[in-house]
Homo-oligomer: A and B are copies of this chain.
Amino acid sequence: MTVTQSPFDQRLGPVVFDAVQLRVRDRLAGEALDAVLTDNPEDVAYLTGFFHHPGERPVAVWLDTAGETVLLVPELEREHAAEQGSRAELVSFAEYPGIVPPFAALAERVGASGAGRRIGFTTSMSYQRLAAVRAQFPHDEFVPTELVTIARYIKLPEEIALHAEAARITDLMLAAGASLVTEAIASEGVLPSESELASHVTRTGVSAMYSEHVNVVVVSPLAGGLVYAGANSAFPHGLPSGYRLAPGDTLMLSLGCAVGGRFVEGERTFVLGEPSTEQRRYHEAVRLAQEVGGSAIAPGVECRTANDTCLQVIRDAGLGQHLRHRQGHGIGLGMHEPPWLESGDPTLLEAGMIVSNEPGIYIPGHAGYRISDSMLVTSGGSRPLTSFPRALEDCIIPL
């Protein structure tokens, strides 16, 4: 008998959005708010399941204590929002900027003449858009709130399942990248360039999703990452170039993908051939910092403490001058989202958060070294969602 595995469904069901909306609605009272309004595209996807590319035409969610959840979209996006099964009442406006301003349609639906409601707005809203909103709600008070942002910190079980699947595919992508180099060496062929490697791992991730999943949620990027070798890897935010790998290079694969719009990162640093003393020293310092940093990620720990514990390992190794960034950041619907594993963030870690653990060092003219996993904070500590091996011995690509 053949057991057919059913494909992985990327789209969350209405029950999840109901739970999310309940969670947010429950928090309104705590801030004495009658409603919350957000135009943050990740918030919109979180609250309703509607994914879109933000632009000048506003898309926003209104959620109030009376139980209303309204999604404002341009007419252009109405069919798109309906097709995605967006869990909200759809209200649309004709066009931007419009003879009638876009937010007038929302005001008409939820009542513009309310007697002094207190409406929270997301602080990522632009000055311009906030002004456009206020103009349509002249009798209400608008106050900044991080309510939805903070609600997103603790992932629901259904979200964690999406992240876990994204991690599985990220591991496949890391393995595919390493294999492409190994096979080129084995066949004594030309080594791949950074951009060829980048295309290959992207294709690997996207193909896996389209062949094994249904209802693929298309976000940008769906799968991909940064690939850089040799001296190029010393630029933490470099872009894959035409540079072709060479024996002795340090190679960084900084990959990731999104399943159901939920991101995961997985980053490993490889060496082509027998590592030099210098490469061993740098790699080991980062690996140890990542291990110690990972152990520091646990419920009740402040983000800044985890960061300081992690980066101290690199300073203790005498490599502090090569640090360019913090330990990590929250990850979810955003590739980068709060809380921040950085010295300035006192947020307490809690079970259900997902944060990146990605210490790195960058030595100008030589190379960069970074190892990253997306870590799920658990009741007892934390665990990496990605599992590709981290030790140098496992990341040597023999010549």
Contacts and interface: CB of A to CB of B under 8 A. Distances in A.
Contacts of A340: 56, 96-97
Interface residues of A, number: 46
Nearest to A98: B344
Question: Helix, strand, loop or mixed for chain A's interface?
Answer: loop
Given A75-B324, A125-B127, A336-B56, A237 B345 contact: no
A273 interface: no
A65 B79 CA distance: 49
B79 A235 contact: yes
A165 interface: no
Nearest to A56: B336
Nearest to A338: B56
Contacts of A326: 95-96
Contacts of A80: 235, 237-238
Contact of A324 (B76, B127, B128, B237): B76
A342 interface: yes
Given A121-B127, A236-B76, A95 B342 contact: yes
B99 A343 contact: yes
Contacts of A338: 56
Given A56-B336, A128-B124, A131-B123, A342 B96 contact: yes
Nearest to A238: B80
Given A242-B210, A325-B76, A342 B127 contact: no
A90 interface: no
Given A95-B325, A326-B95, A344-B95, A123 B123 contact: no
Interface string A328-339: 010000001010
B128 A77 contact: no
Contact of A97 (B101, B126, B131, B345): B345
B126 A124 contact: yes
B97 A344 contact: yes
Interface of A: 52-53, 55-56, 75-77, 79-80, 83, 95-99, 101, 121, 123-128, 130-131, 144, 210, 218, 235-239, 242, 324-326, 329, 336, 338, 340, 342-345, 364
11 contacts: A52-B237, A56-B336, A75-B325, A76-B325, A96-B340, A96-B342, A98-B342, A99-B344, A123-B131, A125-B126, A131-B144
